[in-house]
Amino acid sequence: TMEATPAASMPTARLGLSLKLPSERMGEQVTKRETSRSRVLDIFVEPSLLRGISIHKVLRGAGAGLRSNAGSVADYCQSEQLPRLDDFISHDWKSNRWRKTATLCFVYNKKAAVIASVVVSIVLAVLQLDSVNVLPKFSGERPTPMGGRDIPFPDGVWATCVSPAVFLLFMVLWQQVQELMRPGSCRKVFVDKFCIDQVDEVRKIAGVYALAGFMQHSDRLVIVYSPIYFTRVWCTFEIASWLYLEKPLSSIVFMPISRALTLMVLLGSVTFFWLFYVIGKFLLPYHYLFIMVLGVPVVVLPGMHMLRHLALDLHRLPQQVKGFSLANAGCFCCNHGHIMPGTGVRIPCDRKLVLKTIQSWFPDGTPILEDGGRRSSKLSSNSHSSTSLASAERFDREVQALLGPWILRNSSLTTLRYRDALLLALPYIFRMADVTAAWQRATPPDLFIRMLVFEYLTEILFTFPVIVKLLLYMLTALNSCIGVPNNKILDFAVTVLSTFIFVVLFFVPTVVGTTLSSDIDSPVASSLWSFFLMVMAICLYSSWPCVLCKAMCQGRSGAADPQPSPPPMDEWGCLEAAGASAVELGPSASGGNLVERNAEDCAVSTVIATTGIHVIEGSAVAATSAGIPSSCPLAAATEDSVGLPPKSRRDRLAGHSFGECLCCVPCDMQGNPGEQELLAPEPCVATSEVYPAFSRPEVSW
C-alpha cells in the first residue's frame, strides 16, 4: 500500500543513530554512503507512531480519502495514537476509489445491513396483519386460480419495497450510524495515508520503516484485492510481513473487489426483479409477461453484462496468484528510473530494501508460515543460495504454494459459500414477509402453510442457492471457453446468451415449485420437489458428497493399500532409515547429545539437536562448542535461544536442509523445554516411503 513512498534509510532513534531523509524529499541528493548504510525494515514500532483511524472516517464521503495517496496534516490528524489496531487494510492506490469503497462497505457493513433489513421487513409484516391493520394491503379485486379454485388474492408490498432501501442505507452509512449511537465503537484500522505522517519527513521515514510493526499490533489483515495487487512491491511486502509475524491465515480477510461487486450486482438484480414483479402484478393482469418484456432487458441484461466482466477478473485469479513475485513487483522508484519526477533527484530503490528485508526474515532454508499459523518444515529445492534475489524467488514459490489454494478456496467464483447465497436471497425474505402478512387470513390454512413452506422457504433455502451456483458455473465455463471478446457485437451476443440461460435457470424451477406448492391435490409432489432441491444444494455447497463418491470408487477398485509400519525410533523420538546407525557426537551446549545418522543408501548425514539448541544449517561457527567434529559434512552452529520472545524464535528449526537425503525428519524445538516435535513428513531416499509425523514425548501414530 505504500505506493509512491520510496525506500529511505531510517535507523530507529532508540539505537542512537542519525535519521536519513526519504528518497522523495525535494532538493537534496541521497548519497551512496547513505544508501549503503540503509538497514532492513523493522517489526517494531515506537508507541508514539502507532496510530489508527476509525473505519467510519475512512468511508466518510464515499471514501473520499481513498482517491489518492497524497496526504496532508488534516489527514494525519484524523488518526489517533492507539495501543493496538483491529485491522490492517492492505490495498493498492492505483485501483478505483469507488470500487475500493464499495468493497470496504461490503466487508464492514454487510452484517448490519442484513440484520437491519430483515428486522424492518418483520416489523412491516406485523404492521400489515389484520389484527394490527396499520399499513394497508393491496388486493386489486382480482381472483387468482390456485389449486383449481378461485380465491381472493390480497398482497403486501411494504417489505418488498422498503427493506431493500434500508439495506442500501445501512450498507453505506452503518459505520456513521454506529459512531453516532456509540462513539468510539467503530473498528480502528491502519491506512497508510492517515496513520503515517506524510508531511513531517522524520516521522514519515519512521512510519515506513515500522510498517511491519503496525501489522504486529493488528488483529486482522484486510486485503482489498485488485488484479494489480500482486504486482506492487509494498503489497507483496505486507503479505510477507504477515507470514513472518506468524499470523494465522484465518485472520486474513481476502476480499477481491470483483467478488464483492459481483455479489452486490446479483443482489441488486434480484431486488429489482421483485420490484418489477410487484409493480407488474398490480398494473397488468399478465404480470409475468410484463416481467419478461420489461424486466429482462432493463434489469437482467445489464446485470448479466456486469457479472460476466466481474467474473472474468475472478477467473483470472489463479494466474494472478501464480504471478506473485517480489523480485518482479513494481514500485514508484523503478517505474521512474530511480529519478524523482520534476526534480531529477536520484532516489534509492524500494525493491532492494524489501528484498534485503525478506532475505533477513526468511534466510536460506527458513520455512514459511503454514496454514493454521505454524511454520512448515517443507524444504525448498533451491535453499542454498545466499543472495537476496534467490531468497525472494524461494519465498515467491512457497507463498504461491501456500496462499494459492487458500485464496482460491475462499475467493473463487465457483466456491461461493452457502451463507453468501442466502445473502443474495434477501429479496425473497422480504417478499415472504409481505405474503405471510397478506395471506394469513385470506388463504385457506392448509394452502397457506404449504405455499409458505414449499414455495417461499424452499426458494430461499434451496432453489435460489442452486440457481446462483449454477449461474456461476455457467459464467466460469463461458469465461474459460470464450472470455470477453474484443468485438462489442460478439460481446453483446455472449451477454444475451448468458441472460437467456439465466432466465431458463430461474423461471423453470420457480414455476415448477409454485405450481406444485399451490396444487392442493399433490402434497407428495411438492415434498419430493423440495427434497430434490435440498439434495442439489447439499451437493453444490458441501464437499462431503465428493469425498463419499471417492471413497466408494476406491472401495470398488479394491482394498486400500496398507499403511506403512512405523520405522524404528530411538530414545530421541527421531526416525531412522533402513540400515541407519547412530553415532553419538558428545554433549551439546545445553547438556543434550547430538546424534549423527548415516543411512546405507544416503550420502549425507542428518544432525539432530536437542532442547534449547538453535541449529543454523550450513554454518561451521561454534561447531566445536556443540561437540560436532569439523569433518562432519553438516557442521552446524549452535547457540542458546532460551529467553527469546516467541516472535523471535523463527529460526529454531533444527536442520532445514540435508542435501539429497531426507531419511530422518529433524526435531523442531519451538515448544517448552524438553518437548520435541516432528513436523511435516519427508520422503526417505533409501526406502522411497513417506511416514506421517509424530510428536514427543508421547509418540503416537
Residue 558 CB-density burial (10 A; 0-12 exposed, 13-18 middle, 19+ buried):
exposed
Q: What percent of the chain is modeled with pLDDT above 70?
A: 60
Lowest mean pLDDT among 181-190, 233-242, 561-570: 561-570
Distance CA 516, CA 458 (A): 12
Domain count, the chain: 3
Residue 629: pLDDT band by 50, 70, 90 thresholds?
very low
Residue 397 CB-density burial (10 A; 0-12 exposed, 13-18 middle, 19+ buried):
middle
Full domain range(s) for residue 350: 13-102+169-247+316-411
C-alpha cell, 173: 452509512
Query: Tell me, what's the pLDDT at 218?
Result: 93
Cα–Cα distances (Å) from 511 to 515, 518, 523, in that order, read 6, 11, 16
CB under 8 A, 24+ apart: contacts of 582-589: 585/627, 585/628, 585/629, 585/632, 586/627, 587/627, 588/613, 588/626, 588/627, 588/638, 589/613, 589/625, 589/626, 589/638, 589/639, 589/640
Query: Tell me, what's the pLDDT at 174?
Result: 94
Distance CA 565, CA 576 (A): 13
End-to-end CA distance of the chain: 45
Note the pLDDT tens digit of each residue in 347-363. 777 777 787 887 777 77
Q: Which of 359, 387, 411 is the last residue of a domain?
A: 411
Distance CA 526, CA 423 (A): 25
Query: Tell me, what's the pLDDT at 246?
Result: 82
4 is a domain residue: no
Tell me, yes or no, whether 576 and 511 share the same domain.
no
Alpha carbon 267 to chain centroid distance?
Answer: 21
Q: Where are the alpha helices (DSSP H) in 285-372?
A: 287-290, 301-315, 317-322, 332-335, 350-361
Distance CA 218, CA 474 (A): 39
525 is a domain residue: yes
CB hemisphere CA count around 673 (13 angstroms): 9
Total-model pTM: 0.68
- Complete edge-to-edge strand list for the sheet that includes strand 188-190: 80-81, 51-54, 188-190, 85-90, 218-225, 252-256
Query: Tell me, what's the pLDDT at 545?
Result: 59
Q: Which of 560, 579, 614 is the last residue of a domain?
A: 560
Q: Is the pLDDT of residue 632 over 50?
A: no
Query: Tell me, what's the pLDDT at 691?
Result: 32
Tell me, yes or no, whether 587 and 653 share the same domain.
yes
Q: What is the dihedral of CA 103, 108, 109, 111, to 10 degrees?
A: 120
Beta bridge partners of 223: 90, 254
Average pLDDT, the chain: 68
DSSP for residue 230: G
Query: Tell me, what's the pLDDT at 667?
Result: 35
Using the CB atoms, write b or e for 462-486: b if 16+ within 10 Å.
bbbbbbbbbbbebbbebbeebeeee
Beta bridge partners of 290: none
Distance CA 96, CA 252 (A): 22
Distance CA 129, CA 134 (A): 8
**520 or 236, higher pLDDT:** 236
Distance CA 412, CA 420 (A): 13
Tell me, yes or no, whether 418 and 512 share the same domain.
yes
Residue 546: pLDDT band by 50, 70, 90 thresholds?
low
Contacts (Cβ under 8 Å, ≥6 apart) of 99: 226, 257, 261
Tell me, yes or no, whether 592 and 686 share the same domain.
yes
C-alpha cell, 92: 493498492
Lowest mean pLDDT among 73-82, 269-278, 590-599: 590-599
Between strands 218-225 and 252-256, the pairing is parallel
Using an 8 Å Cβ cutoff, are 471 and 443 in contact? no
Q: Is the pLDDT of residue 264 over 50?
A: yes
537 is a domain residue: yes
Alpha carbon 513 to chain centroid distance?
Answer: 36
Q: Which of 527, 560, 593 is the last residue of a domain?
A: 560
Tell me, yes or no, whether 444 and 347 share the same domain.
no
DSSP for residue 466: H
**303 or 286, higher pLDDT:** 303
Tell me, yes or no, whether 401 and 444 share the same domain.
no
Distance CA 334, CA 674 (A): 50
Distance CA 330, CA 328 (A): 6
Tell me, yes or no, whether 582 and 532 share the same domain.
no
Collapse the DSSP code of 672 into the 3-class scheme (helix H, G, I; strand E, B; otherwise coil) and give the result: coil
Q: Which of 82-96, 535-549, 594-608, 686-700 has the highest mean pLDDT?
A: 82-96
131 is a domain residue: no
> Residues 169-182: what's their mean pLDDT?
93
Collapse the DSSP code of 667 into the 3-class scheme (helix H, G, I; strand E, B; otherwise coil) and give the result: strand
C-alpha cell, 269: 438484480
178 is a domain residue: yes
Distance CA 567, CA 570 (A): 10
306 is a domain residue: yes
Tell me, yes or no, whether 468 and 574 share the same domain.
no
Using an 8 Å Cβ cutoff, are 322 and 420 in contact? no
Q: Which of 310-314, 368-372, 597-601, 667-671 has the highest mean pLDDT?
A: 310-314
Tell me, yes or no, whether 442 and 523 share the same domain.
yes
Query: Tell me, what's the pLDDT at 519?
Result: 60
Using an 8 Å Cβ cutoff, are 577 and 597 in contact? yes
Tell me, yes or no, whether 308 and 180 share the same domain.
no
Distance CA 75, CA 344 (A): 28
DSSP string, 48-117: TT-EEEEHHHHSHHHHGGGS-S---HHHHHTSEE-S-EEEEEE--TTS-HHHHHHHHHHHHHHHHHHHHH
Alpha carbon 568 to chain centroid distance?
Answer: 42
Q: Is the pLDDT of residue 38 over 80?
A: no
164 is a domain residue: no
Tell me, yes or no, whether 180 and 226 share the same domain.
yes
> Residues 452-471: what's their mean pLDDT?
84
Distance CA 628, CA 73 (A): 59
Cα–Cα distances (Å) from 700 to 87, 372, 670, in that order, read 39, 21, 19
DSSP string, 389-419: HHHHHHHHHHHHHHHHHHHHHHH-GGG--HH
**558 or 393, higher pLDDT:** 393
Strand segments, DSSP code E, in 237-379 are: 252-256
Q: Where are the alpha helices (DSSP H) in 130-210?
A: 158-181, 192-195, 201-209
From the list 165, 200, 175, the residue with the least C-alpha distance to 61 is: 175
Collapse the DSSP code of 294 into the 3-class scheme (helix H, G, I; strand E, B; otherwise coil) and give the result: helix
140 is a domain residue: no
Tell me, yes or no, whether 579 and 431 share the same domain.
no
